[in-house]
Amino acid sequence: MCERFFKENALITIPKKQKDKEAVFERIITLFEFNRIYNEKEINEMLGEIYPDYALIRRYLVDSNLLQRDNYGEKYQRIK
């Protein structure tokens, strides 16, 4: 369903429809392992490989409750 938003594993565009966004973010979150703590640099590098505005994607993942951020914005963990 969300494959049309990707080309060679890179996100081409962020969809406008919420349902499509959710599908895209569900695919992106699979890049991260459960029970592993990532620092911000690791997150940025991983997301930067699939989309130039990695901070935007990171924010979407946190806001969608797929990725949890500590109170200092330094450590992240996959939660779904």
Measured between alpha carbons, how far is 76 from 70 in angstroms, rounded to an integer? 6
Count of H-run helices and E-run strands, the chain: 3, 5
pLDDT tens, position by position, 47-77? 999 999 999 999 999 999 999 999 998 999 9
Nearest to 79 by CA among 35, 47, 38: 35
How large is the angle between the packed helices 54-63 and 18-29, nearest 10 degrees? 100
Token pair, residue 12, equals 């081409």
Q: What domains are defined for the chain?
A: 3-78 (3.30.63)
pTM greater than 0.85? yes
Q: Above 90 in pLDDT, residue 43?
A: yes
Q: Above 90 in pLDDT, residue 12?
A: yes
2: which residues sit within 8 A by CB, 6+ positions away? 15, 20, 23, 24, 26, 27
